[in-house]
Chain A
Amino acid sequence: MKEIVILSGKGGTGKTSIAASLAALADSKVIADCDVDAADLHLLLRPAVTEQHEFWSGHVAFIYTDKCTECGLCQEKCRFEAISQFTVDPVACEGCGFCARICPVNAITMHEVMSGHWFLSTTKYGSLVHARLGIAQENSGKLVALVRQQARELAKTQSTDFIICDGPPGIGCPVISSLSGADLALLVTEPTLSGIHDLKRIIDVCHHFAVPAMVCINKFDINEDNSRDIAAFCQNVNVPVAAKIPYHNSVTEAMVKGVPIVEYCHNELTEGVEQIWCRIQNTISN
């Protein structure tokens, strides 16, 4: 079983549209949406949720005002500026528990926090594991790790060949959590200077975690000079370009319909996506 994660560095380059299409093209797979704080894959795959679970993770401090002597030690020691006027700001609190341990009158307890939900669903294309991080919650990395673990278990019981993960933008905590230990990262970029800058950083992250990468240049015709620069850069750093895909309104149309683009129409764009899937299969089987 091989795990393929779709990342981009920059947001809005087309990760989810491509992930949904790969999910439709692959024969034997489990699908995972690892963008837990702005999940969109369900809008294209239309899952029927079969299981819903709470995600309890981390703690937040709570001060019992009747016990508190207002000595101020907790406030002084908190590194996250989460305590003022002898009350805790649950958004700023990182749940370290330092305050609860040092309070001389034991007026502080740590409450477990429900940080979101995760779901097992069935879709027309196969099983989907997805999640929703609670509003303004931490621990997105842990929730991503949980989604991936569930996807792996499911892939094992269903003996599927692939796990296809739609990843989050950026290079930080949830990205690292989506990427580490994956078999291949498909990096979706666009030919803007921002896209190129962000692609370079996510390639560095892939190298850092020793995950092989492959690039898809999306909307390549928006700026063909930049697209050539991206291809040249990729060649220099030995990262293959799997396909160049043109800009097309059909992407938004398919989104409005709520279907993967490869099921919506057949054009240059969908040929590009099919080419990516071929390249991924070839690369992974080698």
Chain B
Amino acid sequence: MLISVASGKGGTGKTLIATSLALALKDYNRVRILDCDVEEPNDQILLKPVITGEAPVNVLMPEINEAKCSHCGICARVCAYHAIVVLDKQVLTFPQLCHGCGACTYLCPEKAIKEVPRETGIVQWGNADQLSFAQGILTIGEAMTPPVIRQLKTCSTSDDIIIRDVPPGTSCPVVESVKGSDYCLLVTEPTPFGLNDLTLAVEMIKTLGIPCGVIINRSGKNDASLEEYCEKEGIPVLLKIPLDMDIARAYSLGTPMVKAQPQWKNRFRQLYENIQRTLIERNRYSQR
């Protein structure tokens, strides 16, 4: 089972929830957590994993052999990202713009282009107690996160449950991280920003056709508009975590919620069972 933990708005508690869900399940299943927020990976801060391996993330980019190049300009014309400029006697490439599609290399009539790897990040893996862990880290100054996320996603093979901690927002890094999930947990908070960004996240998840449920973090007396919205959209509110200074303080020190307040372990296990039931029912319904 592959569960993504996402939210439109940043700082709603994705990392808090993804790590606690993983820790609550690890005694019963083989669980792996993947930190897909490769721009700002924070799961490591709470889980303190022992890193046992790492691999660079390379994107392929063109290298021009000027001796063979006739400066015909075809490579520049076929590049959709304007990553190549052909001058009279010289070809300039802009690595940060290149998506590594390979069109220039394939279409060069002189066979003057070779693709060479360029490192844009790393993927690391390891263990935190019996929990399998992996994260991607985007190199400072690099713009494109999807290649790092794509490679990170290949880290999970033999696990029963995979939990992906997704970056904030609703655009390409989020889509790349969520794609392929069986279920998506959307974390929100009872503020106007929380509601606004939840509606964007729900639209995105519906576009991808992934079933989802909501967790209200810092829940309190202002939950009504979130609950109303969820009811209107037919999305279950699966869990509420109260606004609690002890949880906030533990998080500030890098202590996972289920370690600070072990009573939450059961709630997270129930949450998982709830998701399991939903998926079984959904499956049965779609087979009919």
Chain A residues packing against B (C-beta within 8 Å): 8-13, 16, 36-38, 40, 43, 58-59, 77, 79-80, 91-92, 94-98, 101-102, 133, 135-138, 140-141, 168-177, 190-195, 197-198, 201, 204-205, 208-209, 222-223, 226, 252, 255-256, 258
Contact of B106 with A by CB under 8 A: yes
Partner of B175, one of A91, A175, A201, A256: A91
Given contacts A136-B208, A194-B45, A223-B252, contact A169 B100 (CB under 8 A): no
In the complex, the chain B residue whose C-beta lies closest to that of A203 is B140
Given contacts A101-B78, A133-B170, A135-B207, contact A9 B191 (CB under 8 A): no
Residues on B with beta carbons closer than 8 Å to the beta carbon of A37? 8, 169-171, 174, 200
A28 to chain B, nearest CB (A): 27
Q: Give A18 to B196 CA distance when docked, in angstroms.
A: 18
Contact assessment for A172 and B173 in the assembled complex, using a CB-CB cutoff below 8 Å? yes
Chain B residues packing against A (C-beta within 8 Å): 8-12, 15, 37, 39-40, 42, 45, 78, 80-81, 99-103, 106-107, 138, 140-145, 167-175, 179, 191-193, 196-197, 200, 203-204, 207-208, 222, 245, 248-249, 251-254
Residue of A13, A176, A252, A256 with highest tally of chain B CB at under 10 A? A252
Residues on A with beta carbons closer than 8 Å to the beta carbon of B11? 10-13, 169
Residues on B with beta carbons closer than 8 Å to the beta carbon of A177? 143
Q: Give A12 to B179 CA distance when docked, in angstroms.
A: 24
Contact assessment for A258 and B173 in the assembled complex, using a CB-CB cutoff below 8 Å? no
Given contacts A170-B168, A173-B145, contact A40 B80 (CB under 8 A): no
Partner of B249, one of A11, A80, A133, A223: A223
Residue of B169, B173, B192, B204 with highest tally of chain A CB at under 10 A? B169
In the complex, the chain A residue whose C-beta lies closest to that of B99 is A94
Contact assessment for B39 and A170 in the assembled complex, using a CB-CB cutoff below 8 Å? yes
Given contacts A40-B193, A223-B253, contact A59 B80 (CB under 8 A): yes
In the complex, the chain B residue whose C-beta lies closest to that of A110 is B80
Q: Give A129 to B217 CA distance when docked, in angstroms.
A: 31
Q: Give A191 to B39 CA distance when docked, in angstroms.
A: 19
Q: Give A141 to B172 CA distance when docked, in angstroms.
A: 11
Q: Give A102 to B142 CA distance when docked, in angstroms.
A: 30
Q: Give A263 to B77 CA distance when docked, in angstroms.
A: 53
A188 to chain B, nearest CB (A): 10
Residues on B with beta carbons closer than 8 Å to the beta carbon of A170? 37, 39-40, 167-169, 173
Partner of A194, one of B42, B170, B208: B42
Partner of A222, one of B192, B207, B222, B249: B249
Contact assessment for B196 and A169 in the assembled complex, using a CB-CB cutoff below 8 Å? no
Given contacts A141-B143, A172-B145, contact A193 B168 (CB under 8 A): no
B254 to chain A, nearest CB (A): 4
Q: Give A174 to B248 CA distance when docked, in angstroms.
A: 29
Q: Give A36 to B9 CA distance when docked, in angstroms.
A: 12
Q: Give A89 to B270 CA distance when docked, in angstroms.
A: 35
Given contacts A79-B102, A101-B107, contact A258 B192 (CB under 8 A): yes
B149 to chain A, nearest CB (A): 10
10 sampled A-B residue pairs with Cβ under 8 A? A77-B102, A91-B207, A97-B103, A98-B103, A102-B107, A135-B203, A190-B252, A198-B42, A201-B140, A223-B252
Q: Give A91 to B173 CA distance when docked, in angstroms.
A: 11
Contact assessment for B99 and A222 in the assembled complex, using a CB-CB cutoff below 8 Å? no
Contact assessment for A38 and B45 in the assembled complex, using a CB-CB cutoff below 8 Å? no
Contact assessment for B251 and A192 in the assembled complex, using a CB-CB cutoff below 8 Å? yes
A82 to chain B, nearest CB (A): 10
A6 to chain B, nearest CB (A): 13
Partner of B45, one of A59, A136, A193: A193
Contact assessment for A172 and B168 in the assembled complex, using a CB-CB cutoff below 8 Å? no
Residues on B with beta carbons closer than 8 Å to the beta carbon of A58? 80
Q: Give A102 to B107 CA distance when docked, in angstroms.
A: 8
Residues on B with beta carbons closer than 8 Å to the beta carbon of A43? 192-193, 196
Contact assessment for A98 and B102 in the assembled complex, using a CB-CB cutoff below 8 Å? yes
Given contacts A135-B207, A193-B252, contact A201 B40 (CB under 8 A): yes
Given A174-B171, A194-B15, 6 extra CB contacts under 8 A = A79-B99, A96-B99, A97-B103, A169-B10, A194-B254, A256-B222
